[in-house]
Structure 1
Amino acid sequence: MPGTLTGVGAEGRITLAHGGGGSAMRSLIDEVFLSAFTSGPLTVQEDQARLDLTTLAKAGDRLAFTTDAFVVEPLEFPGGNIGTLAVCGTVNDLAVGGATPVALSAAFVLAEGLELAVLRRVVEAMARSAALAGVRIVTGDTKVVPRHACDGLFVTTSGVGVIRPEHTISIAAGQPGDVVLVNGTLGDHGAAILCARGDLALQTHLQSDCAPLNTLVDTLLRAVPDVHCMRDATRGGVAGVLSELAEASNVLVTVNEAALPVHPEVEGVCEILGLDPLFLANEGKLVAVVPACRAKHALATMQSHPLGRNAAIIGTLQTSSSGQGAVHIVNEFGGARVLTMPSGEQLPRIC
């Protein structure tokens, strides 16, 4: 029951004893983490997870591996919390490379004084997100630091997945003539986090778009196995992905500004604050690049999936006359501007 852990006082908060390796730490691991994550390898509690190579080899011919650290303020926000982010972010990094996510690790840095109830909600959200993605959390670690040494809670997740032989997706594989798609509205996560901080007195119903995208990616790849590029648009937003695509594939990316799907409330927040939704973070959006002959089929496939109902074709790839990659944004009057990445953060600590 909440509040019954060894080492937790009447106020129900994490203490330094929970990182000391004794009974308080054992109680924290058993009652918070193992109670939520126990399945398969975690039930054995070795110092490492053990994955069956035969099973992995049957699923594909390459192993994908990724890692990411998550910090966000506030820890809980409309549409999720830092635990949701951690699982979805790692699952999505694997999925957009064409990998089927298999297993995750999770490491927690807890600040002394963190409310136990908050930690429980974060861990429970991680378990739900992992179940939704069909992936297991198989190993982890916990550290406790003095109060004010971190903002409550940091999470680092790593993930492994298996790539099927038929997929060779790469940010450098874009070709002139290809078409660029996104699976939904831009900037929902960044705008939701900004409003959740309460600094701006903005009243909105915005929620983060945080979601595991592997089922959408699987659906797309079954229908369009020759997808050339995919990236999830997190920090830096869609603008960051397009800039990386242009540089890595050495192409001109031309974006139709009128085609960009943006939630009206996100658009309103951006107008008030002078922000651009292209640069706002997302946690449930991807950019896909497909051959032109497959674009309509790819769009219809995305729109048939719950996470792609608002999918749109937003641009094309062309040969760069300058010999260098670039991104041009074309407005409804035919005028074009060069997209340049900002030198600083528009929104700090959003993922």
Structure 2
Amino acid sequence: MKESVMSYTPKRTVKGDVITMAHGSGGKAMRDLIEDVVLGAFYNPELAQLEDQARIDLAELVAQGNRLAMTTDSYVVDPIEFPGGDIGTLAVNGTVNDIAMSGAKPLYLSCGLIIEEGLEIDTLRRILLNMRKAADQAGVQIVTGDTKVVNRGKADKLFINTTGVGVIPEGADISASRAQPGDKVIVNGYVGDHGAVILNARGDLMLEVELETDCQPLNGLVECMREVCPDIHCLRDASRGGVATVLNEFAESSGVAIRLQEADIPVRNEVRGVCEILGLDPLHFANEGKLVAIVPADKAGTVVEAMRQHPAGQGSAIIGEVESGPAGRVTLQTGLGGGRILDMLIGEQLPRIC
């Protein structure tokens, strides 16, 4: 049972305006930080015990499925706050989405903080409260964690690690190796938004574009998809490397080819503009709220219709088809009638995107 964060009154209050090395010392200053800022943001009965581990009822897990899904990820995005989100919302949604791509129901998260000396405590508090809001939206609880402080100049404000645990319902069998000729390729909306937002937020381009990150939880959308199509073949969130990299991974793992129709891929004009200026491809741009699904052809229309009824899937579209070969090849049919091979991202298009 979840309790509102408003029911918690801190017994301790953190002193000062910025993080100091004392806040990572393991002593009173650290306890003040944890009880005031961390527990103040994430309060729930499990976390409130302040043990070194979360203790989870196995009966609750077994009642929901027959396998665990577990993932971990570290977030080093620069800047730590950007239009539509911040490093905290990114950490929650990114880990929730990695769990959900197996068809699992995400339940619990850990939160590891690496804080640079000098970070404003109000900034930390704001980011952690946004993490709590993101967790509530996704229906998960942050139940354990860790806090470390490093010297000024040894990190960049704040890094976050989150580990997630979820339960896979019996019968779910989603894998990158299950794409079959004739299957359809689906995305849940505009691609490349997050990459364009982070690039512009760094101020190097000085572009006047009104874009927000697409960062959002996708577990509810996946549940809607599985209700109408329990046999989803492949599913992955298109974060670093973008849609192109995900589809190359599917094609290679399944030993198939995939052909995309450029005209069917939803890309905002603002994102296209950023890519044209820099000579980049929106299909390689990172997303933090977009998935790529491969489903049987006879279910594709039904899946898209169901996805469009969910807030995270209103822009869903069929963008391509799986073919028998050449194995491992992804091609893009352009609007001019030609075609080109769409490789996975080579090297680092944009560092510290998430």
Please tell me the TM-score bracket, short chain as reference. over 0.9
* 1:206 partner letter: L
* Match among 31, 55, 58 for residue 53 of structure 1: 58
* Match among 331, 335, 354 for residue 328 of structure 1: 331
* Match among 171, 184, 190 for residue 185 of structure 1: 190
* Match among 126, 135, 141 for residue 140 of structure 2: 135
Q: 1:96 Cα deviation (Å)?
A: 1.0
Aligned 8 A contact 1:87 1:129 in 2:
yes
Aligned 8 A contact 1:6 1:23 in 2:
no
Scaled by the length of structure 1, the TM-score of the pair is 0.96
1:293-308 aligned at under 5 Å gives the runs 293-308=298-313
5+ residue gaps, structure 1, are none
**Rounded Cα–Cα distance in structure 1 between residues aligned with 2:317 and 2:89:** 25
Scaled by the length of structure 2, the TM-score of the pair is 0.95
Q: SS where residue 144 of structure 1 aligns?
A: strand
Aligned 8 A contact 1:7 1:18 in 2:
no
Q: 1:201 Cα deviation (Å)?
A: 0.9
* Match among 300, 313, 319 for residue 314 of structure 1: 319
Aligned 8 A contact 2:308 2:316 in 1:
yes
Q: SS where residue 165 of structure 2 aligns?
A: strand
1:64 pairs with 2:47: no
Aligned pair count? 345
Residue by residue, what CA displacement relative to the aligned partner does 1:103-145 show, whole Å, maximum 9, x if unpaired?
0000000000011111111101100000000000000000000
Q: 1:199 Cα deviation (Å)?
A: 1.2
1:340 pairs with 2:343: yes
1:110 pairs with 2:132: no
* Match among 192, 208, 214 for residue 213 of structure 2: 208
5+ residue gaps, structure 2, are 1-8
1:222 pairs with 2:227: yes
Query: How well do the aligned residues superpose, as a CA RMSD in angstroms?
Result: 1.4
1:140-289 aligned at under 5 Å gives the runs 140-289=145-294
Q: SS where residue 304 of structure 1 aligns?
A: coil
1:42 pairs with 2:47: yes
Aligned 8 A contact 2:107 2:166 in 1:
yes
**Rounded Cα–Cα distance in structure 2 between residues aligned with 1:301 and 1:97:** 19
* 2:235 partner letter: M
Q: 1:7 Cα deviation (Å)?
A: 4.7
Q: 1:341 Cα deviation (Å)?
A: 2.7
Match of 1:29 in 2: 34
**Percentage of matched positions with identical amino acids:** 55
Residue by residue, what CA displacement relative to the aligned partner does 1:225-273 show, whole Å, maximum 9, x if unpaired?
1111100000000011001001001110101011110011111111111
